[in-house]
Structures are given as C-alpha cells and as structure tokens.
Structure 1
C-alpha cells in the first residue's frame, strides 16, 4: 500500500508540474502576442523613412548606436525601424536589400540583380567613399607614416573601421612600427591611392591651410 501511495503521489506531482508549465507557456504566448500587437499598432512610418534616408546616404555600414545619434531617435526605435526595412526589402520585387555587415547596416543591391549589371556599375560602386573614409585617408596622406592613435587624436573618433576599409580598398598599407612603447603599426598611402586620385607623387597633394597643418602637427 505504501508503494501504491508513493506512486499516486508522484503522479499527482508530475501532473501538477506539467500544469504549471502549461500555464507559464500560455502566459509567455500571451505576452508575445501582446508585444506583437503593440508593435503592429505603433506608427513609425516617418521614423522608418528617416532611417532609410540615412542608410541610403551612407556608404559604410552603420550600427544602431550611430543611427540613433544621427537620427536623434532611441536605439529601440531604430531597431524597430531596421526590422521594418528588412521586411520591406525582403519582397521579391525589390532589387535592394538591407545587409548586416561588420556589425552595421547597409543598403546594398541584391546579388542576383547586381550580377546582371556588374559590368557597367561595378567600378562606379567600388569608387564610393564616405566622408569619414575620405577624411581618414586625407589624414594618412598628409601625415604618413601615422599610427591609429594619432589618427584618432585628429578625428576624435575610433579609426579601426575606417582603417580596415582603406586597407581593403588598398588605398593604405602598413608601413612598419613606430619606435615607441607598444610598437604601434604605422600606415601610409599606396600606389593605388596615387593612381585613383591621379597623382604622380605625394608631393602633388594640394597644400593644407595653416589651421589644418597645425592640427595635423599637434596630433603627432
């Protein structure tokens, strides 16, 4: 009898546990449905259009933090706008898609569409550089060889992403290590840089004004 009583107790406990689990699952499903409904009711048309405009104008991936600063929207709203844009560009009748690259978001042509017109637009697309990339490249060109820390002291922002992009484009190269503690890598421009900007040598760069020259020197 004791064994039977124990079996009955275990069965009752298991049933109670299963009932509790089902109740928790039901609550979770109800909360998810409520959140989905709230998102559906939230009108973010103008905010989504603003984020879309920023992404169209940028030529490098931008993460939600940067998009938030540019648009003056909260990161939560930016994330929701990104989600809506992803759904929008996922349609088969769109030749554009929203791609996540190096932790950021970028509007790019869909591969199957771009492959059809790559011969005509490939070079044009490759030639695009953002304002931030051009500024970083200018600093390197006028101050080479220069370290990442020295670039950042001039631009006052992290330079890792811009350096990576310029290295990928072969506009800059590693030019040894500076003889200071830590031996940081120095960067300089390349032959490809000269060819792209139609320069015979670095000496052909336009002269900087006095203010810019002082800013570059003080950072070294």
Structure 2
C-alpha cells in the first residue's frame, strides 16, 4: 500500500473516531512497521490541514491525535455535538481539574468562566470527574474512568494527587491556584506531558 493511501486511512480513522487516537492505534490501523513512520505521516496530515482552507484541523493532544473543528467555527456548530466531551473548552476544563485536583468548583468557575458549569455537568454525567459537597461548593476530582480513557501519561496528575492524600494525616483540602497560576500555566503543564510522552516514544523507537 502506498504512503498516500495509508495517510488517507489515518485521515479516515480520525474522522470516524469519537475520541483522540493514540500513536499506537494509528500505527496499527495504517499497518506500518514503526511508529516513527506513522508519526511522520501524522505530521504531514497536520501540515496539510493547517495550510488548506478548511474548517477542520488535526491536532496532537496529550492523549493522542484528533480531527476537530477549528476554534473560530465552534460556536456556529457546537449545538450539533452537545454530547461531545472533546471540544476545546471541555478539554481545558478537564485538564485544569486534573492538574489542580482536589479543587473546588468555585475555583474552576473563576478560572474557566461560567461556561464551565456546562462542562462540569457533562464530565460528571460521562463519569470522568466526581464532585463531593463541601460547604457551599463542591470538591472536584477525576475518576478511574479518566485514567482508563486518557491513559497513564495524562492520568498521572490524579495518581500524584492520590499519593499526597495517602501520605498525609490531614483532611483533603482543595488546591487553590495563586494569582500567578493562570491559563498559560495550564498550557505549560499540558505541553510538558506531551514532551514527556514524545521522549518515551523516541526512546522506544531507538530500542527497536
């Protein structure tokens, strides 16, 4: 099978999948000999969509690759995918909770704006986060489904939080970001996960 045909298969897989696909999953569907080859094909597809006049884009996330609607068109069509948990806004809210948990709902709303109420309802309904009443607010944490769905690289935030709780004799309290912990810090955290994941992939490729 030619490289062009394999790239078309990868493109079709991303279009059909309701969730991001990992490099291993894409490597399998393309029937490539190495993940390095698949990664190169994905780079070509990302560049192709970034240069064409399309409302769609292919992006690399901490949890894999995804085809999605470009941000400037989301508001026009988001009502057609109300059950989608992978809109950019929902993913940012989920990532914020994952890296700051346990965290109060009021803090999430403060940093993610009032649209986060809808994000939280969706994430609770889908089983990716849970909330426990505490005073006038709720304490939010991710669930085991979060780790199973997104993988251990993105799920390490929850494990780290649980480790802190298990080694402490004090009651669990929400982690409140300081004034300097803005959205840019969250993006830095997500990028760090992606870089660590890439380093692991490169090391595995070298071993083969």
What range is the shorter-chain TM-score in? 0.3 to 0.5
Query: Higher relative contact order by CA 8 Å / sep ≥ 6: 1 or 2?
Result: 2
Structure possessing the higher radius of gyration over alpha carbons: 1
Q: TM-score if structure 1 supplies the norm length?
A: 0.38
State the TM-score, normalized to the length of structure 2: 0.40
